[in-house]
Structure 1
Amino acid sequence: MKKAFTYQDEKSNKFWTIDYSGLTIGVHYGKNGTIGKYEIKEFSSREDCEKEAKKLIASKMKKGYQENHIYDFDNCLYVDVGEYGPHPKTSHPRFVAHFIEEFYYDCGDEEAPFGSDEGSDTLNEMQEIIRKKHTIDFATFPKHLIESLWGMHYIAVDTLDEKTVRDIAKEHEMDMLQSDMVTYATAFGQIKITGKLDSDLKKNALLALKRFAIMYSSGKLTATQQTMYNNLLTF
Structure 2
Amino acid sequence: MKRAFEFFDEKSHKFWWIESLEEKFVVNYGKIDSIGKYEIKEWDSIEECEKQAEKLIKSKIKKGYKEINNFDFENRYYFDDIEYDIDFLTSHPNFRKHFTDEQLYCNCGDEETPFGSDTGNDVLHIIEEKIRKNKNFSFSDFPKYLIEKEWGIEYFEPLPIIDEKIFAEDLKIKDKGLSREAIINESDEVIIATAFAQIKITGKISEDLKEKALLSLKRMEMIAKICGYGESEINKQLYNDLEKF
- Sort the TM-score into its range (normalised by shorter chain): over 0.9
Residue 195 of structure 1 is matched in structure 2 by 203
Residue 185 of structure 1 is matched in structure 2 by 193
Q: Which whole-Å deviations, capped at 9, do the CAs of 1:120-148 have from their partners, x for residues lacking one?
A: 11111111101221232111111011011
The two structures have a TM-score, normalised by structure 2, of 0.92
AA at the equivalent of 2:154 = H
What secondary structure is seen at the aligned counterpart in 2 of 1:73?
coil
| Structure 1 contact 165–214 (Cα < 8 Å) conserved | no
Q: Which whole-Å deviations, capped at 9, do the CAs of 1:103-127 have from their partners, x for residues lacking one?
A: 1111001110000111111111111
Q: Which whole-Å deviations, capped at 9, do the CAs of 1:79-113 have from their partners, x for residues lacking one?
A: 11112211111110100111011211110011100
Distance 1:63 1:183 in 2: 45
Residue 169 of structure 1 is matched in structure 2 by 171
Distance 1:166 1:190 in 2: 31
Residue 176 of structure 2 is matched in structure 1 by none
Residue 154 of structure 2 is matched in structure 1 by 153
What stretches of structure 2 of length at least 5 have no aligned partner?
A: 174-179
Q: Percent identity?
A: 49
Residue 130 of structure 1 is matched in structure 2 by 131
Alignment pair present for 1:211 and 2:219: yes
Distance 2:166 2:210 in 1: 23
Residue 93 of structure 1 is matched in structure 2 by 93
Distance 1:221 1:209 in 2: 12
Distance 2:89 2:140 in 1: 26
Distance 1:153 1:83 in 2: 33
Distance 2:225 2:91 in 1: 31
The two structures have a TM-score, normalised by structure 1, of 0.96
Q: What RMSD in Å do the two structures reach over aligned CA positions?
A: 1.3
Residue 80 of structure 1 is matched in structure 2 by 80
Residue 114 of structure 1 is matched in structure 2 by 115
| Structure 2 contact 224–231 (Cα < 8 Å) conserved | no
1:221–1:32 CA distance, 2 compared to 1 (3 A): farther
AA at the equivalent of 2:31 = K
| Structure 2 contact 4–69 (Cα < 8 Å) conserved | yes
| Structure 1 contact 6–65 (Cα < 8 Å) conserved | yes
Distance 1:195 1:165 in 2: 35
| Structure 1 contact 138–190 (Cα < 8 Å) conserved | yes
The correspondence for 2:241, drawn from 201, 222, 231, is 231
Distance 2:136 2:109 in 1: 28
What stretches of structure 1 of length at least 5 have no aligned partner?
A: none
Distance 2:93 2:106 in 1: 14
